[in-house]
Structures are given as C-alpha cells and as structure tokens.
Amino acid sequence: MSAIKTQLVVLGSGPGGYSAAFRAADLGLDVTLVERYSSLGGVCLNVGCIPSKALLHVAEVINESHHASNLGLSFGPVQHDLDKVRTYKDSVVSKLVSGVHAMAKGRKVRVVEGYGKFVSDHQLAVVKGDETTLIDFDNAIIAAGSRSVKLPFIPEDPRIFDSTGALELRSVPPRLLVIGGGIIGLEMATVYEALGSKVTVVEFADQLVPAADKDLVAVYSKYNKDKFEVLLSTKVEAVSAKPEAIEVAFSGANAPAEPRQFDAVLVAVGRVPNGKLIDAEKAGVNVDERGFIAVNPYLQTNVPHIYAIGDIIGQPMLAHKATHEGHAAAEGVAGHPHAFDPMAIPSIAYTNPEIAWVGLTEKEAKQQGLDYKTAVFPWAASGRAIAADRSEGKTKLIYDAKTDRLLGAGLVGVHAGELLGELTLALEFGASVEDIALTIHAHPTLHESVGLAAELGAGTIT
C-alpha cells in the first residue's frame, strides 16, 4: 500500500473532474485526480459526446450526398469501410484524450489510476489490481459521473448493447431497434441509419425527445418519416435473445400486435448516477436512493469540504454543465467561492436536422402559468437555408408578454445547435426580443433566422 497527501482529490476525470482539477491547479493547489481507466476524459471524451459526434459527422457526409441529385449532382452509392470509420472515430477521441493528459502533466496534476472509494471524510482508497493507494485529502470533489440504465428484463447478449456498445461500431445490423427516443437514442439511430441499418425507434412517451417542444420535434419527425420507423406511446414488454434474432414484444396503442425480430437492440433509456458506488457514506456524504448527491449553490455536499459536480448531482446530464460546475467547485476549494447559478443551460440533439433549445421551453412556460408570447421564423423564408436545400427548420423565441424579455428559445434545422450560443448569451444578459431584433445579423446566414424571429416578436416586420 502506498500513501499520498494532497490538498484536493478529484474523483473522476470526465469534463467535470478534469475541469475542476485544472482550475484548482491553476489556482495553486496540489491536486490529485483519480480515474479508474487509463484514459482521462470520462464518458464525454471516451464513450459519449466526442465519439458520437465523430460518427454523426460521418452520417452527415452520407446524408449530404443524398441531397446531391436535388443540386444537379450525382455520386455513386456511398460505400463505407467500417474499420476505417472506426479508426477515424478513435483518432478523434485519442487526439482529445491526449490533450487532457498533456494538460494534466503541464499543470503537475497527479493522476492516480484505479477505482476510488471513500474510507473516511479525509481519506480515499484507490485500488488497481493488487495495489492500493491511500489518499489523505484536505478537500474532495466528487465527479464520478453516471452510467447507462439497464432494464432488468433485458437479457445479456452481444447483440444487445448500450450507447458504449453502439459507439464501438462492431457491425451495421440490418434491423436495429433503438429503445428510447431521447437525444442519445436518436443520435445513434442517425448514425446507424446513414450507414445502412433499417432502424425502429420505440419511445414510451408520446413524442421523441420528450424534453423539447412538440412543434420543433414535429419538424424533425416529418423530415425523417421515411428514414426511421417510430413507435410512440409504446412500451417494450419482453426481449428474448433467440439464435436467429432478438425477439421483442411491445404494448401500447401503436404497438405491433405480434413480437418483432431485430438483429441488434440499442438500449438508450437514460443514465443513472454513480453515487452509490463510491462508499460516500463512509465520508458522511448523503446520497439519495437513486444515487444522486445533493449540493448547495457552491456545490458543497452536506460535508462542506467535499464538493460534488456533473452528472452525479443531477439533471441536465451535460458536459458543459459539468465543466462550469467543476470550475465553480475548484474556486470554492481555493477560497474564492462563487455560486453555480446559470440563467440557462443549452441542450442540443445533434440529429439530422438538429433540435436545440435553451431557457424555458414553451411547454415549461405554459406549465408555470407565465404570460408569454412566441415568435416563430420558418426557415422556408431563409435564403441561406433554401440555398442549402434544407429549409425545413424553424426558429422560435419565447418571451415575456409584458416586458418582451427573452424566456427561452428553440430551434430545429441543420446546424441549429451552432445558433444556440447567441440565444444563451441573450438569456444570460437578460435581453429582450427588441435587443435581438436591433442586433445586426449577417445576411444570408442561418443565425439571421434568430434576428428575424425577434423582429417578428418586436413587431418591426410582420
């Protein structure tokens, strides 16, 4: 057994953990970063945000080629070499992961590889094989993230996998069932459909991407109606792994009457925090029955020198939320406490077309009984969208009926996620639709649709 003394131990090296570790080191602390895997970067870099976006880029190139005939061009049918696609995806991941390793080294952050569990409120034991390292810490930041939810009735079978398995891209199954029509399920459906799978998406709720507004999702669904089969308000009742195929029985108003056969099944029904797997109780840290750790606005747990950040503290489970929490927690540990209190956290489904929203959705504004208005600019009137042969999108602003202040925004369309930055900033700055309308947007751009929606709201165009 070896022993280390450190001012700050960070448990988990995802976007929350590495951001916290680097900020704390920049502020002069002696930092130890504990990660069970040899590769830093957490879910996001290794099996989440980054590999999925690399594969979605591949899908985008394939989908663009399908538009060629509308533009007077023709290419031969797209052929792919799965080994090379996988190599491309892995190279994207390894570039970013090696960047994180270099940043840790550059800041003299001590990295300890192994599985960490609390022993007391000032000690963490890290086990790797037969080796245990005992870390004595003054402060800790828990950034141990989350894992995919497993459905208890689904058997173990190599043809049934979660998002991590889907990102391995072992094969392109002719018939793929995606259980869960949220962001992760639809992003993977987009990749596999583009590569040639016939994809069925089953969703328990009555719309895909249930967190987004229905009118935005309707645009996405219409665009994809011939690409995927979608079973809404449908529950998966039973899954059996037969030698010839995976057989799945459904129930619900739109459910197929008979069980259906698939070559592979992706289970993407959400993520569960890792709070119950780190012996937090030995440090006196409260963990709720689902595995989440409650924190105050300074990201301190009920044990003030132990902080928690990222997926493990709750929704939205997004990398950029984890990063900002990591910075705030590190500053708290270094004696410069600042509360994590954002006006808005953007959400993006990197699908085709993309669905993006920030601040209140219209659904939430309605549920909260707010006196709000909406202004919607259809991309059918956007020069840039028409020129790109992708005019199905729309931009929607939700704003206070009396003060004109922006409450939220939602977009659907190609690159919709890239347009969200301006609206997130507008929300942080408390902008009104008039402020946005008076901001000159370049012509012809997709972000011009934001300015034009605001002009509709401000009444300067009709």
Where on the chain is the footprint of ligand FAD (CB under 6 A)?
Answer: 11-17, 34-37, 42-44, 48-49, 52, 115-116, 143-146, 163, 184, 274, 277-278, 310-311, 317-320, 322, 350
CB of 45 to ligand FAD, least distance (A): 8
Amino acid at 150: K
Does 1 appear as a known binding residue? no
d(CA 64, CA 72): 13
Angle formed at CA 102 by CA 96 and CA 108, multiple of 5 degrees: 140
CB of 234 to ligand FAD, least distance (A): 22
Does 184 appear as a known binding residue? yes
Angle between helices 49-66 and 82-106 (to 10 degrees): 140
**Helix and strand totals (H; E) in the chain:** 13, 22
CB-based burial label for 39 (10 Å; 0-12, 13-18, 19+):
middle
CB of 312 to ligand FAD, least distance (A): 6
CB of 187 to ligand FAD, least distance (A): 7
Q: Which residue has the tokens 């596999």?
A: 192
Instruction: Choose among 244, 228, 246: nearest CA to 157.
Output: 246
Angle formed at CA 134 by CA 133 and CA 135, multiple of 5 degrees: 110
Does 229 appear as a known binding residue? no
Does 277 appear as a known binding residue? no
Q: Which is nearer to ligand FAD, 291 or 413 (CB)?
A: 291
Does 195 appear as a known binding residue? no
CB atoms within 10 A of CB 362: 21
Among 80, 336, 443, 447, the one annotated catalytic: 443
Which string of b and e fits 415-424 if b means at least 16 CB within 10 Å?
bbbebbebbb
Q: Which is nearer to ligand FAD, 15 or 353 (CB)?
A: 15
DSSP bridge partners of 136:
5, 123
d(CA 184, CA 211): 13
State the number of CA atoms in the 13 A half-sphere of 164 facing the CB.
13
Does 181 appear as a known binding residue? yes
Residue 437, SS3 per DSSP: helix
443 is catalytic: yes
Does 183 appear as a known binding residue? yes
DSSP bridge partners of 6:
137
CB of 317 to ligand FAD, least distance (A): 4
Does 180 appear as a known binding residue? yes
Does 95 appear as a known binding residue? no
DSSP run (H or E) holding 248 = strand 246-251
Which string of b and e fits 428-439 if b means at least 16 CB within 10 Å?
eeebbbbbbbee
CB of 49 to ligand FAD, least distance (A): 4
d(CA 100, CA 102): 5
Instruction: Choose among 327, 347, 351, 324: nearest CA to 337.
Output: 327
Does 103 appear as a known binding residue? no
**Which residues 6+ apart lie within 8 Å of 274 measured at CB?**
144, 145, 146, 147, 291, 311, 312
Q: Which is nearer to ligand FAD, 14 or 451 (CB)?
A: 14
**Which residues 6+ apart lie within 8 Å of 300 measured at CB?**
306, 307, 332
Q: Which is nearer to ligand FAD, 311 or 448 (CB)?
A: 311
Q: Which is nearer to ligand FAD, 212 or 452 (CB)?
A: 212
Both ends of the chain: CA-CA distance in Å? 73
Q: Which residues are catalytic?
A: 443
Residue ranges of the annotated binding site for FAD are: 53, 116, 311, 317-320
Residue numbering of the annotated binding site: 53, 116, 180-187, 203, 270, 311, 317-320
